[in-house]
């Protein structure tokens, strides 16, 4: 690992975190905070994007290591937020909101896997 690698990951991470915060905040302001739509949205978008990035950067070797480190590890690593997902899931459970708890977990897990697969499928058609 080199200092350049760390800088690419760090820069991508900083931008990804800012993008996550901005998008989640906008969604919470638009829809409200009764259900964690902001986190669900960034996880779905990030999962789709990592599917695309994987096809472009790993399978087709477009761009170099710096691109992969910046986009996949840095930006998308900070943009998607499963630690927040875990906390929000447990909060819904602790509040006794079982339907919201179960639908949030199901939509996050299944939706993000489907979004990743869709990103990969669509990107394979473009490359």
Exposure string for 68-98, b = 16+ CB within 10 A, e = fewer: bbbbbbbbbbbbbbeebbeebbeebeeeeee
Q: Is 119 annotated as a binding residue?
A: no
Res 82: pLDDT: 85
Residue 113 has pLDDT above 90, yes or no: yes
* Mean pLDDT, rounded, for 63-70: 94
Number of compact structural domains in the chain: 1
- Say which residues have a Cβ less than 8 Å from residue 120's Cβ, sequence separation at least 6: 51, 52, 54, 55
pTM (2 d.p.): 0.82
Domain extent at residue 25: 3-125
């Amino acid at each position: 690992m080199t200092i350049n690698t760390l800088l690419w990951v760090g820069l991508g991470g900083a931008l990804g975190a800012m993008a996550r915060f901005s998008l989640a905040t906008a969604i919470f302001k638009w829809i409200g905070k009764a259900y964690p739509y902001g986190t669900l949205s960034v996880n779905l978008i990030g999962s789709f994007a990592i599917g695309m990035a994987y096809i472009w950067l790993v399978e087709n070797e477009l761009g170099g290591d710096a691109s992969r480190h910046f986009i996949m590890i840095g930006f998308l690593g900070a943009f998607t937020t499963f630690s927040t997902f875990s906390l929000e899931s447990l909060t819904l459970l602790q509040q006794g909101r079982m339907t919201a708890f179960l639908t949030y977990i199901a939509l996050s897990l299944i939706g993000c896997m489907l979004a990743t697969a869709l990103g990969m499928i669509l990107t394979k058609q473009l490359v």
